Amino acid sequence: MHKLLDVTDITAGYGDGPAILDGAHLTVEPGKVHCIIGPNGAGKSTLLKAICGMLKIREGDVVFKGERLNGLRPDQILRKGICFVPQERALFPKMTVRENLRMGGFILDDKRELDRRVESILDRFPILRERSDQHAGTMSGGQQQTLAMARTLIIKPEIVMLDEPSLGLAPKIVQEMFDIMKTMSSEGITVLLVEQNALMGLRNADLGVVLDLGRTMIEGPARDVLSDPRIQELYLGGRKAA
C-alpha cells in the first residue's frame, strides 16, 4: 500500500525535558480516516505536534511523500499540505467567521484566490454563511469546531490532523463532526484524528492506532483494533464492541 506519511520510531519531548514520545510509529494511508487512541498522557497530542513541526524530533523520521519533514517549521509543513487543528481549536474569538477563514489561508499569496476559497467554504457550510459576520467566540462549541475544521480546507490540505474535535460536544453534534471528517476523506483528504471516545472514534475510522507511554502499541484496521482483546479490556469495559 502506498504510504502518504510514515512516522518511524520517533523520540521527542518538550524543550530539554524527558522524551514523551519514545518509539512512536505510524503509517498514514492516503484518503483514509486514522484514529489514534490511548490513555491520558500517552502522548497523542504530542505526536500530532511532532508531525506538524511544533516539537523537535530527536530520533526517528517523519517522511511525507518520500520527503523528510524533520526540522521544518510548522508553516513550512503547513505549506506542504499538512494542517493541524489543536484541541483548543486555535480560532480567533474576537474575529468574525469570515476573518477566521481568511486567517486559515495566510500562506496563500493570491488574495483574490483566498477570497474565492472563503466564499466556497461559506457556500459549503450554510451555518458558517449564516454566521459569517459573527465573532467566532460567540458561537456554540459545535459551530466553533465546524469552523476550525472548515478552515483547514482553505489551503486544500492533503492531511488534516484533529486533536479531540469531539471534546465537550453533545453526541448529536459529535456525529456531525465525524460526518465532516468522512466527507473530507471521500474527497481524498487524509484525516488523522485523536479521539478520547475510543469506541466512537474507531467506529468512524478506517485505521486505528493505540498509543501508550509514548509508544505505538497497536496499529491496524480500525475493525481489528476494536476487536482486539487488549482494547476491549482497557477502553471498552470488556464489552464486545463491533
Q: What does the binding site for ligand ATP look like in residue numbers (CB under 6 A)? A: 14, 17, 20, 38, 40-46
DSSP secondary structure code for residue 135 in this structure: B
Nearer to ligand ATP, 104 or 214 (CB): 214
In the complex, the smallest distance separating the C-beta of residue 36 from ligand ATP, rounded to whole angstroms, is 8
Binding-site partner at residue 43 among Mg ion, ligand ATP, none, CB < 5 to 8 Å by type: ligand ATP
Buried b (16+ CB within 10 A) or exposed e, 77-101: bbebbbbbbbbebebeeeebbbbbb
User: Which of these, 239, 197, 234, lies nearest to 218 by C-alpha position?
Assistant: 234
**Contacting Mg ion within 6-45 (CB under 5 A):** 44-45
With a CB cutoff of 8 Å and minimum separation 6, the contacts of 70 are: 57, 61, 62
Nearer to ligand ATP, 50 or 122 (CB): 50
Residue 40 burial (CB count, 10 A): 6
Binding-site partner at residue 46 among Mg ion, ligand ATP, none, CB < 5 to 8 Å by type: ligand ATP
In the complex, the smallest distance separating the C-beta of residue 23 from ligand ATP, rounded to whole angstroms, is 14
What Å distances lie between residue 181 and 2, 31, 49, 190, CA to CA? 21, 11, 20, 9
In the complex, the smallest distance separating the C-beta of residue 234 from ligand ATP, rounded to whole angstroms, is 13
Nearer to Mg ion, 60 or 165 (CB): 165
In the complex, the smallest distance separating the C-beta of residue 7 from ligand ATP, rounded to whole angstroms, is 14
The site for Mg ion, by CB under 5 A, has a size of 2
In the complex, the smallest distance separating the C-beta of residue 163 from Mg ion, rounded to whole angstroms, is 6
Measured in degrees and rounded to the nearest 5, phi and psi for residue 233 equal -65, -50
Binding-site partner at residue 105 among ligand ATP, Mg ion, none, CB < 5 to 8 Å by type: none
Q: Within 13 A of 147's CA, how many CA atoms are on the CB side?
A: 34
Type and span of the H or E element at 26 = strand 19-28
Binding-site partner at residue 17 among Mg ion, ligand ATP, none, CB < 5 to 8 Å by type: ligand ATP
Binding footprint of Mg ion on the chain (CB under 5 A): 44-45
